Amino acid sequence: MDLPVCHLVHWDDIDRWADALAGKISAAGRSPETIVGLTRGGWVPSRLLADRLGVKHLAALRAQHWGVTATQTGKAEITEKLTSPVDGRSVLVVDDITDTGESLRLAVEHVRATGPRQVESAAFLHITHSKYVPTYYAEEVPKERWAWFIFPWNYWEDIRTLSAKALPEGKDSAGVRQLLLEQAKIAVPEADVRQALAPPANRS
């Protein structure tokens, strides 16, 4: 059993990336009329950017590519359409990270086909092997430093998946915690591992 190398993202990283991204968009002279957040990773980044850029109109779109933590499900596809029309508007499509870049590329194409005046894209993190490069990104991650980024909005989902994967070898919460440290390179409190391994009905 091999766990992917992970990186725990904290809220101050998120704040820094949101500031950096909003700064780049403003410096480019852009003020989008609508922000489209990709479900689910792009929701919090979209809301934070909307606040910083003073955008009142938010929409959602679901592009799916990755299933459970660090496992690709195959080809990206739009599984939930745009929640509100954007024809004639200037639109910014937002996601948390471009890894293969397939989700954002597909989402931008989908939005463009609905007739907006202009479409640009943004992501907090951009991994250099991504085939699609967002118009704006806060930080570039060299492909040699690929990791599974555990964003605060995905913390429990990721810790649950990783802990369940490590359990047969780790045997108990202390063993799982140790495997998370050695293989995934993340220090997770044992209480969180215990909570992640508890059946839903027993979670506090």
Note the residues at the interface with ligand AMP (CB under 6 A). 41, 65-66, 76, 95-103, 148-149
Q: Tell me whether residue 17 or residue 148 sits nearer to ligand AMP (CB atom).
A: 148
Q: Tell me whether residue 33 or residue 40 sits nearer to ligand AMP (CB atom).
A: 40
Output the smallest distance, CB 42 to ligand AMP, in A: 7
How far is the C-alpha of 61 from the C-alpha of 43, rounded, in Å?
Answer: 10
How far is the C-alpha of 75 from the C-alpha of 89, rounded, in Å?
Answer: 29
Output the smallest distance, CB 185 to ligand AMP, in A: 14
Q: Tell me whether residue 119 or residue 123 sits nearer to ligand AMP (CB atom).
A: 123
Output the smallest distance, CB 67 to ligand AMP, in A: 9
Q: Tell me whether residue 121 or residue 173 sits nearer to ligand AMP (CB atom).
A: 121
Q: From the centroid of its chain, how far is CA 75?
A: 17
Q: Report how far apart, in Å, the C-alpha atoms of 95 and of each of 31, 130, 181, 185 are.
A: 18, 13, 28, 25
Contacts of 41 (CB under 8 A, 6+ apart): 95, 96, 97, 151, 153, 154
Q: Tell me whether residue 86 or residue 137 sits nearer to ligand AMP (CB atom).
A: 137
Output the smallest distance, CB 47 to ligand AMP, in A: 15
Chain residue at closest Cβ approach to ligand AMP: 41
How is 84-153 classified by DSSP, letter by letter? S--TTSEEEEEEEEESS-HHHHHHHHHHHTT--SEEEEEEEEEETT-SS--SEEEEEE-GGG--EEE-GG
Output the smallest distance, CB 186 to ligand AMP, in A: 12
